[in-house]
Structure 1
Amino acid sequence: MTDDTMTSNRSRDRNPFPGLPLHDLAGFTHHWVDAAGIRLHAVEGGRSAGPTVVLLAGFPQTWWAWRKVMPGLAERFRVIAIDLPGQGHSDRPHGAYDTHTVASHVQAALDALDVPTYWLVAHDIGAWVAFSLALMHEERLHGVALLDAGIPGVTLPDSIPTDPERAWKTWHFAFHLVAELPETLLTGREREYVDWFLKAKTLLPDTFDDAEIDHYAAAIATEGGLRASLAYYRDATESARRNHEALGRGNLTVPVLGISSSHGSIPDMAASIGPWAENATRALIPQAGHFIPDEQPEATVDALTAFIDPERVG
């Protein structure tokens, strides 16, 4: 890719949401790139000559979910954190949010950023997208790490448990599917909703401070953010169908690292993914709930660094 092409594909001054505060992270640069007809926000830093590590966050977060992990990874790798469609400072298109469609946008963004091959690391809904992306573009991946997520049509259960001891972890899947009601109840109350998620699903409820909660709530409240966040759940059936279709052609062959936590939602990510991946290994992060990169960033960096062997990619 030529320098002129790269310049046309990147624009550092095209923030589509100027009213939404844009956080800076030392050593990293913001980009907005064309991604198959929409603009995605990417934050890039680290060693340009090192292996590329791509980070995808989940609900209700943005790329900022990786802020504690990115500096440690940047010591050895080129690091790119991407806001998915509907997240943070990326566009919030109307239309499909099934994970194969979203994965196509992510891959287009990486093409625009001149990333031929990479390691993919993803949490929660980001892991939904990462699994589908791996099914679609396995030849571009050196490996994929999935953090505490059930994958639609693969490991995500079809029914919500009614046991109160377990239902609190997954009740929102059904709620988000209901037409119009979530918007009615949540518009203007985004902060209260985000606050519940970030406190209830962490081992220590003070993991997130008020400023962080404000940031994530503002991203959801801004110009279609709530609609887009709900759309991932509302299109989960189509995500499941397309995952099944792709798996009918064969399982994943790239290395897969399943990262679980001591108090997360999925006790053993590797075991849950194992039937659909030929090379799945496990990492368990102690003293953490669902939001592993926020709760135990150093352990997360260690697990990822052990998984990503630079010598394997030259």
Structure 2
Amino acid sequence: MGDRPMPEVAGVRHRFVSARGISFHIAEAGPAEAPPVLLLHGFTQHWYAWHRVVPELAADHRVLCLDLRGCGWSEAPRRGYHSAGLVADLVAVLDALELREPVRLVGHECGGWLGFLLCLAAPDRVASFLALNTSHPWRRPQGRLPLDAWRFWYTAFWEYPGIGRRVLRHWPGFTRFLLRHWTADPSCWEPAVLEEFVQALRAPDRARVAEQLLWQFVLHDIPALATGRHRDRRLTVPTLMLCGDRDPVTRPAPEVHGIDVRVVPGGHLLPEEAPAVVAGAAREHFRRTVRMPRAEKE
């Protein structure tokens, strides 16, 4: 991110790890010996999306907020932004952090989508999963995919190669409008926090990455949903989904075996709008679903 200053959160320390030839930034909080929780941010954001959730979880968890490839303070190579590559990044980062035991996982928005794919690709690496404001790979039965497509109208301004990056760089008011529109109550935003995410996407390399993340989703993930590519794959990781009752983008997903869906007050940015609800749901879900090692019990 060049010379952009790092936002400050009390108790958070920063580190970089090398994985798949890329430098990844991780914001970490909580005791090093506590159970690890990996947090994956959503589109248009970076690790700071969790700034209100981290203090809620760090008392009894080792909280790891990863900047995805090309986001925040992680390196931004020219390629590798399709979901399969991003999931491979996640596995490599877990290895670089020497997290051999399954981790607790929380993913918001596109980070939630990647969380589902990680649970399918490497279920032995995830002990329990909390997904926020996202879809799952079985979301649309055949013939229903177009029903909610209108909710993603804004992507038309951001996803087309060469155009999206220019909109992100030179039309910050549009990004600001959407971040406010995605919340049930825009007053939840502190002006400085809102501007952090708006201004971060104006950097040329970050605008290009945001464009690529959406375009690769169009090329690979939408066809997978439309053709039911994942219909025969079973989710074995215990999973809870939280959906905002006033989320203008993603609606509560149809029931799927292995996924508990819960609707809570809020919009599309639950980590910003309802951090205590997110942290409480995570703690409860992990307590119900994760079997502690004998040493932890003792």
Fold equivalence (TM over 0.5): yes
Structure 1 CA distance, aligned partners of 2:147 and 2:229? 25
Residue 52 of structure 2, aligned match among 55, 63, 68 = 68
Residue 170 (structure 1) shift: 1.3
1:194 and 1:213 in contact (8 A); partners too:
no
Q: Which residue of 1 aligns with 2:261?
A: 282
Aligned-residue RMSD, C-alpha: 2.3
1:10-36 residue CA offsets vs partner (Å, 9 max, x unmatched): xxxxxxx34111023222210111121
Residue 82 (structure 1) shift: 0.4
1:13-65 residue CA offsets vs partner (Å, 9 max, x unmatched): xxxx3411102322221011112111111011213222211101112111111
Query: How many equivalent pairs are there?
Result: 285
Q: 1:138 to 1:161 in 2, by over 3 A?
A: closer
Q: 1:60 to 1:185 in 2, by over 3 A?
A: closer
Structure 2 CA distance, aligned partners of 1:135 and 1:267? 22
Q: Which residue of 2 aligns with 1:106?
A: 90
- Say which SS state the counterpart of residue 195 (structure 2) adopts: helix
Instruction: Note if 1:24 corresponds to 2:8.
Output: yes
Q: Which residue of 1 aligns with 2:112?
A: 127
Q: 1:195 to 1:282 in 2, by over 3 A?
A: same
1:263-291 residue CA offsets vs partner (Å, 9 max, x unmatched): 1133424x35x1xxx421133322x1110
- Say which SS state the counterpart of residue 187 (structure 1) adopts: helix
Q: 1:262 to 1:23 in 2, by over 3 A?
A: same
Structure 1 CA distance, aligned partners of 2:85 and 2:36? 23
Q: Which residue of 2 aligns with 1:11?
A: none
1:240-268 residue CA offsets vs partner (Å, 9 max, x unmatched): 56787973663111101111112113342
Instruction: Note if 1:195 corresponds to 2:173.
Output: no
Instruction: Note if 1:149 corresponds to 2:134.
Output: yes
Instruction: Note if 1:258 corresponds to 2:241.
Output: yes
Residue 305 (structure 1) shift: 0.7
Residue 291 of structure 1, aligned match among 263, 269, 274 = 269
- Say which SS state the counterpart of residue 224 (structure 1) adopts: helix
With normalisation by structure 1, the TM-score equals 0.83
Structure 1 CA distance, aligned partners of 2:85 and 2:228? 14
1:51 and 1:313 in contact (8 A); partners too:
no
Residue 219 of structure 1, aligned match among 194, 197, 200 = 200
Unaligned 5+ runs, structure 1: 1-16
2:108 aligned partner, one-letter code: H
Residue 173 (structure 1) shift: 3.0
Residue 179 (structure 1) shift: 3.1
2:169 and 2:203 in contact (8 A); partners too:
no
Residue 180 (structure 1) shift: 2.3
Residue 161 (structure 1) shift: 5.2
- Say which SS state the counterpart of residue 229 (structure 1) adopts: helix
Residue 87 (structure 1) shift: 1.1
Unaligned 5+ runs, structure 2: 294-298
Q: Percent identity?
A: 25
- Say which SS state the counterpart of residue 104 (structure 2) adopts: strand
Q: 1:160 to 1:183 in 2, by over 3 A?
A: farther
1:100 and 1:239 in contact (8 A); partners too:
no
1:108-147 residue CA offsets vs partner (Å, 9 max, x unmatched): 1121112122011011111121111111111111011111
Q: 1:251 to 1:240 in 2, by over 3 A?
A: farther
2:3 aligned partner, one-letter code: G
Q: 1:179 to 1:159 in 2, by over 3 A?
A: farther
